[in-house]
Amino acid sequence: MRAFGAFRRVVAVVGVITLASAMVACGSNQDDSTADGQDLGLMTAGTLRIGTLTDAPPNVYVKDGKFTGFDNDLITAVAAKLNLKPEFVGTDFSALLSQVNGGQFDLGSSSITVTEARKKTVAFSNGYDFGYLGLNTTKSSGITSFDQLTGKRVVVVQGTVQDDYATQKNLNPVRVPNYNAALGQLKAGTADAWVSPAEIGEKMAKEQGGGTVILAAKELSDAPMAFAVAKSNDKLREAVNKALDEVIADGTWTKLVEQYYPGRAVPANFKPGSGSVKFTAPKA
């Protein structure tokens, strides 16, 4: 009986140790953000909360209730490499960067052009795309080039590089919160031109322009597009960069470019991701 009592005490001690170990393990899982145990400082363990837009096809938009588009499909593939579940939330572009740095989102996905001014608010991943400034107008406006915009009523989405461009050119732009509002001004005749991201402006003109809105001109931007992360979260930025190179190397990036931008040539000096990873050039 005495030996049996001692045995029960040993079992009890082992049970307590096992339970404590299990609790520690559970606690670790709550803090870790990926299967390899790396803590990425996410808002919710296992989930990448992404701030994005709902109205900017083919880059970022909602279709059949699902967030999609080139940028969002790409970050979904990146999240899969990190064993994370993407969770998309719609917002306005003018608020997106401050929301990312303020902790409302882990990451911002919205064809964000990297600029020195924006680097003061957020950090950026490596570049994954290039872009063009677009000049949207109406068939009857007679406007065919950017140098004809002086004295015209020009609309831009607030906080975008197109806003920066129009401001630097002293065009005194009318600022609106989203792309649908910009397109709406052209269709209603309350604006003469919209300085747009060219891919978005061209697609919206064809699909929603009512036959009157066109993309009259475009010019290549010299800055890449990247995902935004909080300046304080170097671990997440580094993890995204590593996973981004992986989806470039395995052909996912090329497949998405061909899907969303069929026939679009890649500039000779543009290399996605870190620049050191080999990739297949999309079919032009």
What does the alpha-carbon distance between residue 88 and residue 52 come to, in Å, rounded to a whole number? 7
Residue 205 has pLDDT above 60, yes or no: yes
pLDDT tens, position by position, 170-204: 999 999 999 999 999 999 999 999 999 999 999 99
CA distance 212 to 38: 52
> Residue 61 phi/psi, 5° resolution?
-165, 175
Domains held by the chain: number: 3
Model's pTM, two decimal places? 0.80
CA distance 271 to 265: 13
If asked whether residues 176 and 208 sit together in one domain, one would say yes
pLDDT of residue 31: 43
139 & 153 share domain: yes
Quick check: is 140 in a domain? Answer: yes
* Domain extent at residue 2: 1-31
DSSP 178: S
pLDDT in tens, 97-132: 999 999 999 999 999 999 999 999 999 999 999 999
pLDDT of residue 34: 53
* Domain co-membership, 120 together with 241: yes
- What pLDDT is recorded for position 284? 77
Q: Which residue has the higher pLDDT, 22 or 160?
A: 160
Q: Which amino acid, one-letter code, is at 187? A: K
The reply to whether 96 and 148 lie within a common domain is no
Q: Residue with structure tokens 């990425």?
A: 40
Are 121 and 144 in contact, with CB atoms under 8 Å apart? no
Question: If pLDDT is split at 50, 70 and 90, which confidence band does 260 have?
Answer: very high
- Per residue in 162-173, pLDDT (tens digit) is 999 999 999 999
231 is a domain residue: yes
* Judgement on whether residues 64 and 186 belong to the same structural domain of the protein: no
Q: Decide if 246 is inside a domain.
A: yes
